[in-house]
Each structure stands twice: as structure tokens, then as C-alpha cells.
Amino acid sequence: MLANAGGRVTLGKSSKSGTAGEKIVPITDASGVSILQLHMISWDAGVVVRMPDNTEVIKLVPGAVYGSLEGAPGPTGKSFQIRWANSISTTCSDFVSGKAGYDIQMIEDGSEVVRLVSATHWWVLPFLTATFCLGACCVHCMQNHAMQVKVKGADVGVLQSNGVLTADEHGALSGALLCAILTRWSKEYAPNAG
């Protein structure tokens, strides 16, 4: 289904549906046609990706690493894990360098397949140094940012803050979409969200 997406998909706004408070996020292709839907119920239930006719494509369950999702098959047909890529030490250095958020990586067989790399803002360190204000953490541009899609270190696409995801090839688009699903699920259900 992503092979015919034209290299671009859009994650729409979630809407509540059903009796259990399930949230559904539509995913459309480049021409605006609905190709997939994310079905989310809770933090513990993970995410089910379905086609518009309700056929289950993949189930992503909470992983062994807190805040991660696991599923199968991935873009290369193997089981995979999607997780936040940053540790505490990189988080501190990323903050000082103006990194707008955490990177997300998709791992298959212990190797990174796709990474969503958060934007950096060069002006954060000079701002902190000049003003002694940590306000650089909360300014608007730090909240709405694009993430680069990388495969083996090469830029192959972008995930914009409005949910539009573009990638040069099918495998990168599939992997980046799975990474984007982690961000949406975490935003909706993480215990410290909201």
C-alpha cells in the first residue's frame, strides 16, 4: 500500500471512535486518499495499523524498553523495535546544541534501519549564554519542527510537524512511518503526556 503512496503520506488528526475511547488517526497518500488508519486505545495496548476496510496490517505492542513499540514484519520482513534513540548524556549535550527533541530509531536484528533526526537550532547556546534564561526550551519553534529521515546516515526524506512525511524510497517511507507512529502514540498516551 505504501508502494503506491507517491513517496508521501500524511498522518491526520486523531478522532475518538467506538465504546472503549479508541482514537483513530487516518493516513492518506500524496493524492489525499485514505490508505491506512492507526487504531489506539491506551499506552498498554499499543497501536494497530489497519487498512480502511478494517483489515489488520500490523500490530505494534509496547516493547521491553520503556516507551518503545515492537512488531513484525518490518520493511525488510523481520521483527523490529521502534524506540527513542537518545540517552541521558546525549540529551544534555543535545539540549545545549539546540536539539529540538529526541531522535527515533527503527532497529531490526540489532541494526538501525531508519532514524528520524530532530532539528537543531544554532542560536540556543548563544541565547542561553547571553541571557542565562532557559526559555530556549519552550519557545514555539522548538515545539513545531521537522525531523530528517535518515537511512545509513543519508538524508532520504522529512517528517514535518504537520504530519506530512516524504521519503525517496518505499523502505524508508515505511520505516519512517513506523517511527512517526511512535511519536503519535507517545503524544496521545504517555503517562507524563499532557
pLDDT at 28: 92
- Domains contained in the chain, CATH given: 8-189 (3.20.90)
Radius of gyration of the chain (CA): 17
DSSP H/E element including 94: helix 88-96
Q: What are 96's three cell numbers?
A: 545545549
Average pLDDT of the chain? 80
CB of 45 within 8 A of CB of 59? no
Q: pTM score, two decimals? A: 0.79
Q: Show the low-confidence residues of the chain (pLDDT under 50).
A: 88-90, 140, 193-194
Q: Tell me the pLDDT tens digit for each residue of 120-172.
A: 766 666 766 777 666 555 554 555 578 889 998 889 998 888 888 998 888 88
Quote the CA–CA distance of 38 and 49 in Å, as a whole number: 5
pLDDT at 13: 87
Cis status of the peptide bond prior to 26, with omega within 30 of 0: no
Q: Which residues contact 153 (CB under 8 A, 6 or more apart)?
A: none
pLDDT at 55: 92
